[in-house]
Chains A and B, each alone.
Chain A
Amino acid sequence: MNTWQDSIVELIRRTSAEIPDDVQRAILAALEREKKGTIAASAMKIIEHNIALAKQKSQPICQDTGSVLFYVDCPAGFDQIAFTEAARAAVKAATQKGYLRQNSVDSLTGKNDGTNLGPGAPTLHFHQHKDAGVTVRLMLKGGGCENVGAQYSLPDEGIKADRDLAGCRKAILDAVLQAQGKGCGPGVLGVCIGGDRATGYEFSKTQLLRRLDDRNPVQELDKLEQDILNTANELGIGPMGFGGKTTLLGVKITTANRVPASYFVSISYMCWAYRRQGARFDATGKILDWLY
């Protein structure tokens, strides 16, 4: 599995140091929108400079290299155990190279052994598909944006949200208000309406694998995505919560069936330092092409 290990180290390096093109375009557009001379504009300028510098130096865009989340699509018969071992070895090697910070703490003892390995670290999601190839997506999700994620159980009297799309809208916009700049905005929301508490959050995260410039094929959800994006950007929270025109860069929403008794709206917030990359691999683990 050495080829796999080397390829995954490269996937980690690229994810940590290089912002995907779709996100970079959205950030440049946001920089254009902010009024010149404001602290919001200077924040966006530093962000733009940071993106260029990280790529040039092959260093982490953000020092919080986050939870390491792999999403693997593979054919039946693919050796998931061997892949997991290669991924763990790659995470350890990438940490030694400084692509990842020593970022994983034993929740019982508080010890950080510096390897980024432990229960749930890294996390791997495997999914079988009919295709013969293997696709691996990687998300590095920092703690600042993870901490402003939120899950609402509707009805919610505090925000007057009923069990309908209007109630979902209130919940999502309340999450934006509460997050302010704390999740390193301008950010992107991944949302799941429905599911249980765990699948709701899981599906909300996988929405962040969508390209920023795609459109939701479900008409009602597409409408809600555009509405949330436009409304959030009218609130004046702005980059880093400094005030300004760009509060969000994108909104991605999906649904999962729920039991009649539950109605969750789960929101994951991704910071502007949107570390998400992926590649298609051949059977030996060689990278064929990049996804984003």
Chain B
Amino acid sequence: MNISTPLNEAAVRKLKVGDAVEITGVVFTGRDAVHKYLAKGGELPAGVSLTGGIIYHCGPVVIKDDAGNWKVTAAGPTTSIREEPYQGDIIKKFGVRAVIGKGGMADRTLAACREAGAVYLHAIGGAAQVLAEHITKVRNVYFLEKFGSPEAIWELDVVNFPAVVTMDANGNSLHTEVFERSQAELAKRL
């Protein structure tokens, strides 16, 4: 199904674990440095609003083309669990409706998704070229000097960006299900 930014709470709450989605609109990249900074009280840079917005755990490869425009040449998700200490608070504080990443997140983020009405969207890790094809434009970049290119906030236009809902706003997590099932299967084989 297609979802577009800005996301509203009612639409997000209808999403269920296992739903394949295609995202169109604006996403902001943010990873380790940005999450730590925001969780410790840092302000969003002027011009950035995450209300109804999407944070993408991604450190893209971005180059300047001959005309001096930024171009994203590779942009898959990075492992999300590193942001677990910060993500829940950031979702609630800034009104984030969706987080895109890989590998899933844990209880605090799941609780924040339920409380605030947000979802975790799993993109295919490593699929940097396929996903870069769905990024049509670099709108802006923030904190480039402060955090370096992979850790900066890149504001990106995306069209039909593919992902799967693996943590929904109803307290369900595919990651918990798969872990528990695989743990039980392993126990039979030891």
Same assembly: yes
| Contact indicator B104/A46 (Cβ below 8 Å) | no
Whether A181 sits at the interface, judged by CB under 8 Å, is yes
Q: Are B126 and A273 in contact (CB under 8 A)?
A: yes
Q: Which of B76, B129, B148 contacts A57 (CB 8 A)?
A: B129
Q: Mark B154-179, 1 if CB is under 8 A from A, else 0.
A: 00000000101010000000110111
Partner of B59, one of A64, A174, A177, A181: A64
**Contact indicator A234/B126 (Cβ below 8 Å):** no
Q: Using a CB-CB cutoff of 8 Å, which residues 103-122 of chain B contact chain A?
A: 103-104, 122
Interface hits, B92-108 → A, CB 8 Å: 102-104
A144 near B102: Cβ-Cβ < 8 Å? yes
Chain A residues closer than 8 Å to B166, beta-carbon distance? 242
B61 at the interface (CB under 8 A from A): yes
Q: Is the CB of A43 within 8 A of B60?
A: no
19 additional contacts, CB 8 Å, given A101-B149, A144-B102, A181-B178? A47-B127, A54-B128, A62-B76, A63-B75, A63-B150, A64-B76, A64-B78, A65-B61, A101-B60, A144-B79, A177-B183, A177-B186, A182-B81, A184-B102, A231-B189, A234-B189, A235-B186, A241-B175, A243-B181
Give the CA-CA distance A237 to B71 in the complex, in Å: 35
CB <8 Å contact, A182 and B150: no
Q: Given A39-B18, A61-B129, A242-B178, does the pair A101, B61 have CB atoms closer than 8 Å?
A: yes
Nearest CB of A to B165, in Å: 10
- B63 in the interface (beta carbon within 8 A): yes
Residue of B nearest to A142 (CB): B126
Q: A54-B129, A240-B125 are in contact. Are A111 and B148 (CB under 8 A)?
A: yes
A241 near B103 (CB under 8 angstroms)?
yes
A-side residues, CB < 8 A to B, are 39, 42-43, 46-47, 49-50, 53-54, 57, 59-65, 98, 101-103, 105, 110-112, 114, 142-144, 147, 160, 170, 173-174, 177, 180-182, 184, 231, 234-238, 240-243, 271-273
Assembled-state Cα–Cα distance A242/B186 (Å): 17
Q: Which residue of B lies closest to A147 (CB)?
A: B79
A62 touches B128 (CB 8 A): yes
Give 16 pairs: A residue, B residue, CB < 8 Å, sorted on A: A50-B127, A50-B130, A59-B129, A61-B126, A62-B74, A98-B73, A98-B74, A103-B150, A143-B78, A180-B175, A180-B179, A181-B103, A181-B104, A182-B79, A242-B174, A271-B126
Report which residue of B18, B33, B178 has the largest number of chain A beta carbons within 10 angstroms of its beta carbon.
B178
Q: Are B61 and A236 touching (Cβ within 8 A)?
A: no
**Does A143 contact B79, Cβ atoms closer than 8 Å?**
yes
- B residues near A105, Cβ cutoff 8 Å: 148
The answer to whether B129 touches A112 (Cβ under 8 A) is no
Residues on B with C-beta less than 8 A from A242 are 122, 164, 166, 174, 178
The verdict on B46 contacting chain A, using a C-beta distance below 8 Å, is no
Contacts of B132 in A (CB 8 A): 59, 63
Report if A180-B58 is in contact (Cβ < 8 Å); known contacts: A112-B150, A144-B103, A241-B104: no
Give the docked Cα–Cα distance between A174 and B187 (Å): 10
Neighbouring B residues of A98 by C-beta, 8 Å:
61, 63, 73-74
Partner of B182, one of A50, A60, A111, A177: A177
Interface residues of B in 134-153 (CB under 8 A from A): 148-151
Asked whether, in the complex, the Cβ of A235 is within 8 Å of the Cβ of B182, the reply is: yes
Least CB distance, B126 to chain A, in whole angstroms: 4
Which residue among A61, A147, A238, A242 has the maximum number of chain B CB atoms within 10 Å of its CB?
A242
8 Å CB contact of B58 from A61, A63, A111: A63
Cα–Cα, bound, A47→B131 (Å) = 11
Given known A-B contacts A114-B148, A180-B179, A53 and B130 have beta carbons under 8 A apart? yes
CB distance from A27 to the nearest CB of B (A): 11
Question: For B190, what are the chain A residues with a Cβ–Cβ distance below 8 Å?
Answer: 160, 170, 173
With most chain B CB atoms within 10 A of its CB, the pick from A46, A64, A142 is A64
Contact A63 B102 (CB under 8 A): no
Would you give the 0/1 interface string for B44-75, flagging 1 where the beta carbon is closer than 8 Å to chain A?
Answer: 00000000000000111101000000000111
The docked-state distance in angstroms from the alpha carbon of A173 to that of B151 is: 33
What is the CB-to-nearest-CB distance from A225 to chain B, in angstroms, rounded to a whole number?
16
Collect the chain A residues with CB atoms within 8 Å of residue B148's CB.
Answer: 102, 105, 111-112, 114
Q: Does B124 make an interface contact (CB < 8 A)?
A: yes
Residue of B nearest to A103 (CB): B150
Please give me the residue from chain B that is nearest to A170 by CB atom.
Answer: B190
